[in-house]
Amino acid sequence: MSILTMLRTAVIGCGIRGSGVYMPVLRKMNRHFRLAAVCDGVPERADAAASRFGAKSFHNVEEMLDKCRPDLAVVAVTPPPSHENAAVALQVLSAGIHLFAETPIAPSLEEADRIIALVESKGLKVEMGENYYRTPRERFNHALLESGVFGPVHVVYSDFVGHGYHGIALLRSYVGFNVAVERVIGLTNEFAVEMHLYRPGEPTRDKETWQFGVLEFHNGAKGVFSFSTLSYGSPLRWGREKCQLRFYAARGMGAGPDLAILEDARITRPIKVRIKSASVEGQSTIAAFLSDLPGSPGWENPLRRYPLVSGDQHSELTIGLQLLSIYNAITNGTEPEYGVLQARRDRQLDLAMSHSWSRNGEPVSGDFEA
């Protein structure tokens, strides 16, 4: 393996996401990153994470940025509607340090614009952790889409998959991040349901709110969004393993793991997918996705030499692939896969959908540039 530049990295936020997701992945990707420091306003939490991962412990962000001066800061603090993540992101960028941050980019577009202005004025690289469209399976689907196997996508459904901006990012990824949205329509309904325990430690629930949205794209494509407030943990609803993203394109279609194209004027031709696995340090991981279509591209895992656990949106491999994007942006001068401008657009569309919900489906048109 070629010699890589190792980035000194700090993680701000030592809660479940910081110490349970990012720190283990950074430790495994030890040819790309060195976890130099961790920071949390709860001293016991920072000290425990520092001891576990062999990093310096800090309890104050400003002190950590001044004394540690990392190449990259990973921000994993409370997301919106809290203003904490945007405030910490601004601290990091003001110190001239590259950033990886959780989505959404900020509670308001005004705060998002302050982040973007700092990024542009200081020439920094920022990757936003939008993970739903970047699982290994989604990367394989997008490799086929980009090769033209399916032709242009006309309609895509994010059915129960991810809330708000997550669902919007999924829809846009299939139509194309370079295709502008012209109009957003949103609807919402509350229903009575059987009284049940949503999650251990939380109150019982007897109501459910469904959220619906339609994105109308400049090229005529439509993105359809649905989500239930009982999606994450309720025994009354399927978990994520049953949720599906479906798309219908000029030459084919997909529903979850099932993909197909038109073989001739009368026959649907299923695309058979083969997943190659590899064992690294005793851990099974994905090496590649391959299809049986002659000449069609597969997807090869660029991190296949690391023992990263494969899985859904929050798996080690999905997180590692996002971190690889900011690594490449910093060391090679490339643009991040999902940077601040894309994050702002998805937040803008998310807020527009909420605005339409609050007005009983009144369409929202605006400057949703691609």
CA-CA-CA-CA dihedral for 193, 197, 202, 205, to nearest 10: 10
Residue 301 lies in a domain: yes
Residue 302 and residue 165 share a domain: yes
Same domain for 142 and 262, yes or no, is yes
* 162 & 56 share domain: no
290 and 180 assigned to the same domain? yes
**Residue 11 maps to a domain:** yes
Q: Which of 347, 359, 364, 365 is nearest to 188 (CA)?
A: 359
User: Residue 1 — very low, low, confident or very high, per pLDDT cuts 50/70/90?
Assistant: very low
Residue 78, pLDDT score: 84
363 part of a folded domain: no
| Parent domain of 33 | 7-124
Q: What percent of the chain has pLDDT over 70?
A: 99
* Residue 40 resides in a domain: yes
Final residue in a domain of this structure, among 311, 340, 365: 311
Under the banding of pLDDT at 50, 70 and 90, the label for residue 366 is confident
pLDDT at 186 over 70: yes
**Percentage of the residues of the chain whose pLDDT score is greater than 90:** 87
Residue 210 has pLDDT above 70, yes or no: yes
2 is a domain residue: no
For residue 274, what are its two tokens?
Answer: 């083969």
Distance between CA 51 and CA 340 in Å, rounded? 33
Domain at 194, CATH number: 3.30.360
Domain match, 273 and 177 both: yes
Q: Taking residues 76-84, what's their average pLDDT?
A: 85
> Which residues in 139-160 are b (16+ Cβ under 10 Å) and which e?
bbbebbbeeebbeebbbbbbbb
Residue 3 has pLDDT above 70, yes or no: no
CA-based angle 112:114:119, to the nearest 5? 95
Largest interatomic CA distance in the chain: 67
List residues bridging with 277 in a β-sheet. 286
Bridge partners of 155? 222, 248
Residue 239 reports pLDDT greater than 80: no
Judged against a pLDDT cut of 90, whether residue 365 lies above it is answered with yes
> In terms of domains, do 50 and 80 share one?
yes
13 and 140 share a domain? no
Residues 215 and 291 in one domain: yes
Q: How far apart are CA 45 and CA 353, in angstroms?
A: 37
Query: What are the tens digits of pLDDT across the range 53-63?
Result: 999 999 999 99
Flag whether 346 is in a domain.
no
Residue 354 domain-assigned? Answer: no
Same domain, 201 and 269: yes
pLDDT digits (tens, 9 = 90+) for 122-165: 999 999 999 999 999 999 999 999 999 999 999 999 998 888 99
Q: What is the pLDDT of residue 81?
A: 77
The pLDDT tens digits of the residues spanning 100-112 come to 999 999 999 999 9
Distance CA 12, CA 49 (A): 11
- Phi/psi of residue 333, each to 5°? 75, 20
Given the structure tokens 């251990």, which residue do they identify? 200
pLDDT band at 184 (very low <50, low <70, confident <90, very high): very high
Question: pLDDT (tens digit, 9 = 90+) per residue, 279-288?
Answer: 999 999 999 9
pLDDT, the chain, mean: 94
Mean pLDDT value across residues 15-32: 96
Whether residues 305 and 173 fall in one domain = yes
Decide if 328 is inside a domain.
no
Specify whether 44 is located in the same domain as 143.
no
Per-residue pLDDT, 232: 82
Number of domains making up the chain? 2
Question: What's the CATH number where 97 sits?
Answer: 3.40.50.720
Reported confidence tier of residue 338, pLDDT bands at 50, 70, 90: very high
Last residue of a domain, one of 124, 151, 167: 124
Same domain, 205 and 187: yes
Non-local (6+) Cβ contacts of 114 within 8 A are 86, 90
Looking at 72, 89, 124, which one is the last position of a domain? 124
Distance CA 335, CA 265 (A): 41
Predicted confidence band of residue 202 (pLDDT cuts 50, 70, 90): confident
Please state the rounded mean pLDDT for residues 269-274.
Answer: 96
Mean pLDDT of 325-331: 97
